Structure formats: C-alpha cells, structure tokens
Structure 1
Amino acid sequence: MQLFYNPKLDYSAKQFVFPPDESKHIVRVLRKSEGDIVHITNGKGYLFEAEILEPNQKKCKARIISNRKSIPKRYKLHMVVAPTKMNDRYEWFLEKATEIGVDEITPIICDHSERKTIKLERMERVLQSAMKQSLQTVLPQINPPISCKEFLENDISTGFKFIAHCQDGEKMELKRKVIADNDATILIGPEGDFSKTEIDLAKEKSYIPISLGRNRLRTETAAIVACTTVAIINS
C-alpha cells in the first residue's frame, strides 16, 4: 500500500484533489487509472480510502469512499534531543524514531552543542516521509529549537522524566525505570554531553538520571536506543 499525506483532509471530506507533484506520481509513476484505490492520511490518526475519478497528472481527483481512525497508543513519548554536528545524523534519528513510534520531538541547544541552528521545514518533511513509508497515520510533532535551560525552566511534561548523560553519578538503566502505559520525556544531550549545570537543573525539575548501557553512544544512537526501549516495554 502506498500512503499519501494531506493535513487538511478531515473525516467529513467527500472528494479530494491531489497537488500537482502527487498527481504526477500517481498517474505517471504508479500508473493509477479511473476506479483505482489510493490511501491518504491526515497525520491525525485517520486513514482514508479513495477511488480515483479523474487521473489527471496536474489535478488528480478522487472520491473518499471510507475512513477510519486508528486506536491511539496508551502512552506518549517525547524525545528532547540536541541537534547533531552533521544534519544527516539527526535526520536519521527523526526517520527511525518515527518508524519506532515517537509522538513529539524537541531539539534543544545545550552548553556543549556544536550545532545551534536547524532547518525545521526540512525535518518536518523527513517526518512526513517516514510516516508514509512506515504506513502510520499519526505524524509526530516537532517543536522549534529551544535552549536546554529554557526548556527545563518552562517544562510542563507529565509522566516519567529522564535525562541520559555520561558523567559519573548514580544512574539506573532506562529499561528498569520505564513503566508500560505511562508517558515519558527523555533528554539526550549533544556529542559533548550535557554540562553539569544542565544536569543539576534537570534534577531540580525531577528528571531521573538514566543509563542506556555500558557503551558510550552517539547522540542519535542514544536517542534511538531510548525510543526502542520505551517501545519494547509498551509492546
């Protein structure tokens, strides 16, 4: 099944016109014709089944014949992850986290961050592509980048809150602290790790220091290990 995405589509829609790029892909690449069935999601949990009425390469028109809403997960996972020095590594994290099942992502700029800016629109496209490729109907939310200090000072997270860091001190393995069906927010620092000031502030805000294993991991690897751990506990 090939999945298309349009955030403006709602459950009351009767017809739908694909934008030019998708119309061309449907007609020329997928070779769909009148009467063929395609699937669309609005990224809000709905899956629409549509029948092609006019296979036009510029304005492919379809009739919505059914829709259903997916059953929501019993927990939400918010990954708060510092941008990596190389953009492609952060995009890899976004892609894999979407496939695994992340709900929200916040890029944080830390004291030791080498990269201070990100291209939010490009990252949104990565999330959309990963959602469609993995045939999911909920698009993860990605927030504008924010400093670690500002995120923590304004934190309103619910559920369990964890910070993964490499400094000495008492830490529990994440897999021993996560409890199924509970929301979780996990902070992952940059290549240079969180500063002591950031770790202390996180602790003040009730973040629990955790370990992701014996080996020292890259930022994007640590984030994926955390996502996978939470998904396995909730499987």
Structure 2
Amino acid sequence: MQLFYNPLLDNSAKQFIFPPEESKHIVRVLRKSEGDIVHITNGKGYLFEAEILVPDQKKCKARIISEKKSIPKRYKLHMVVAPTKMNDRYEWFLEKATEIGVDEITPIICEHSKRKTVKMERMERVLQSAMKQSLQTVLPKLNPPISCKEFLENDTALGYRFIAHCQNEEKMELKRKVIADNDTTILIGPEGDFSKSEIDLAREKGYVPISLGANRLRTETAAIVACTTVAIINS
C-alpha cells in the first residue's frame, strides 16, 4: 500500500485534490488511473481510502470513500534527545524512532552540545517520510529546540521520567524501570554527555538515572535502544 499525507484532510471531506508533486507521482510513477484506489492519512490517526476521479498530473482529484480511525496507544513516549554533530545521524534517529512508534520528540541543546542548531523543516520531512513508509497514521510531534536547562525548568511531563547519562553511579537498566501502559519521557545527552549541573537539575525535577546497557552508545544509538525498550515492554 502506498500512503500519502495531508495534514489538512479531515473526516468531513468528500473530495480531495493532491498537490502537484504528489499528483505527478500518482499518475506518472504509480500509473494510477480513473477508478483506482489510493490511501491518505492526516497524521492524526485517520486513514482515508479514496477513489481517483481525475488522474491529472498537476491536480489529481479523488473522492473519499471511507475513513478509519486508528486505536490510540495506551501510552505516550517522549524522546528528548540532543542533536548529534552530524545531521544525518540525528535524521536516522528520527526515522527509526518513528518506525518504532515514538509520540513526541524534543531536541535539547546541552552545555556539551557540539551542534546548537537544527533544521526543523528537514526534520519534519524525515518524520513524514518515515510515517508513510511504515504505514502509520499518527505523525510524531516535533518540538522546537530548547536548552536542557530551560526544558527541565519548564517540564510538565506526566508519567515516568528517565535520564540516560554516562557518569559513574549505580543505575538500573531501563528495561527494569519501564512500566507498561504508562507515559514515559527519556532524556538522551550529546556526544559529550550531560554536564553535572544538568544531571543534578534533572534529578531535582524527578528524572531517574538509568542505564541502557554495559556498552557506551552514540547519542542516536542510545535513543533507539531506549525507544525499542519502551516499545517491547508495551507490546
């Protein structure tokens, strides 16, 4: 199944016109014609089935013939992850986390961060592409980048809160701390790890230090291990 995405589509729509780029893809690449069926999501849990009425390469027109609302998950996973030095590594994390089933992502700028800026539009495109490729109907929420200190000082997260850092102290593995059907927020630091002041502030705000295993992991690897662990516990 080929899945298309349009955030403006809602369950009151009767007809739909694809934008030029997607119209061209549908007609020229997929070779869809009048009467063929296509699928669209609005990224908010709805899957629409539509019949092509006018297979125009610039304005492909379709009629909505059915809709289905996905069943919400019993938990939410919010990954708060420092940008990596190389953009492609962070994009890899975004892609895989979406495939696994993350609900919300916040890039945090830490004291030891080597990258202080992110390209929000590009990151949004990565999330959209991963959602469509994995045939999901919910687009993860991507928050603007924020400093670690500001995030923690204004944190209103519900559920369980964890921070994965590399400082030497006794920590339990994440898989032993996650409880199914509960919201979870996990902080992952940059290549240079969180600073002591950031770790101390996280503790004050109720974040529990956790381990992701015996090996030292790259930022994006640690984030994916955390996502996978939570997904498995909730499966």
TM-score normalised to structure 1 length: 1.00
Q: How many residues align?
A: 235
**In the alignment, is residue 79 of structure 1 matched against residue 71 of structure 2?**
no
Residues 38-62 of structure 1 show CA distances to partners (whole Å, capped at 9, x for unaligned) of 0000000000000000000000000
Return the letter of the residue paired with 1:123. M
* SS of residue matched to 1:31: coil
Question: Hey, what's the Cα distance between the residues in 2 that align with 1:135 and 1:169?
Answer: 41
Could you tell me which residue of structure 2 aligns to residue 229 of structure 1?
Answer: 229
* SS of residue matched to 2:59: coil
**In the alignment, is residue 27 of structure 1 matched against residue 27 of structure 2?**
yes
Return the letter of the residue paired with 1:174. L
TM-score normalised to structure 2 length: 1.00
Question: Hey, what's the Cα distance between the residues in 1 that align with 2:96 and 2:184?
Answer: 18
* SS of residue matched to 2:62: strand
Question: Hey, what's the Cα distance between the residues in 2 that align with 1:44 and 1:184?
Answer: 20
Return the letter of the residue paired with 1:149. K
Residues 130-165 of structure 1 show CA distances to partners (whole Å, capped at 9, x for unaligned) of 000000000000000000000000000000000000
* SS of residue matched to 2:50: strand
Segments of structure 2 that go 5 or more residues without pairing to the other structure are none
Return the letter of the residue paired with 1:131. M
Could you tell me which residue of structure 2 aligns to residue 193 of structure 1?
Answer: 193
- The CA deviation at 1:128 is 0.1
Segments of structure 1 that go 5 or more residues without pairing to the other structure are none
Could you tell me which residue of structure 1 aligns to residue 206 of structure 2?
Answer: 206
Could you tell me which residue of structure 1 aligns to residue 146 of structure 2?
Answer: 146
Could you tell me which residue of structure 2 aligns to residue 136 of structure 1?
Answer: 136
Could you tell me which residue of structure 1 aligns to residue 93 of structure 2?
Answer: 93
**In the alignment, is residue 6 of structure 1 matched against residue 14 of structure 2?**
no
- The CA deviation at 1:170 is 1.9
Could you tell me which residue of structure 1 aligns to residue 103 of structure 2?
Answer: 103
Residues 193-234 of structure 1 show CA distances to partners (whole Å, capped at 9, x for unaligned) of 000000000000000000000000000000000000000000
- The CA deviation at 1:14 is 0.1
Q: How does 1:36-185 map onto structure 2 within 5 Å?
A: 36-185=36-185
Residues 153-194 of structure 1 show CA distances to partners (whole Å, capped at 9, x for unaligned) of 000000000000000112110000000000000000000000
Question: Hey, what's the Cα distance between the residues in 2 that align with 1:42 and 1:126?
Answer: 16
RMSD: 0.2
Over the matched positions of the two proteins, sequence identity in percent amounts to 89
Return the letter of the residue paired with 1:100. I
* SS of residue matched to 1:186: strand
Return the letter of the residue paired with 1:4. F
Question: Hey, what's the Cα distance between the residues in 2 that align with 1:103 and 1:81?
Answer: 13
* SS of residue matched to 1:112: coil
Question: Hey, what's the Cα distance between the residues in 2 that align with 1:97 and 1:54?
Answer: 36
Question: Hey, what's the Cα distance between the residues in 1 that align with 2:12 and 2:49?
Answer: 13
Question: Hey, what's the Cα distance between the residues in 2 that align with 1:161 and 1:216?
Answer: 21
* SS of residue matched to 1:124: helix
Return the letter of the residue paired with 2:95. E
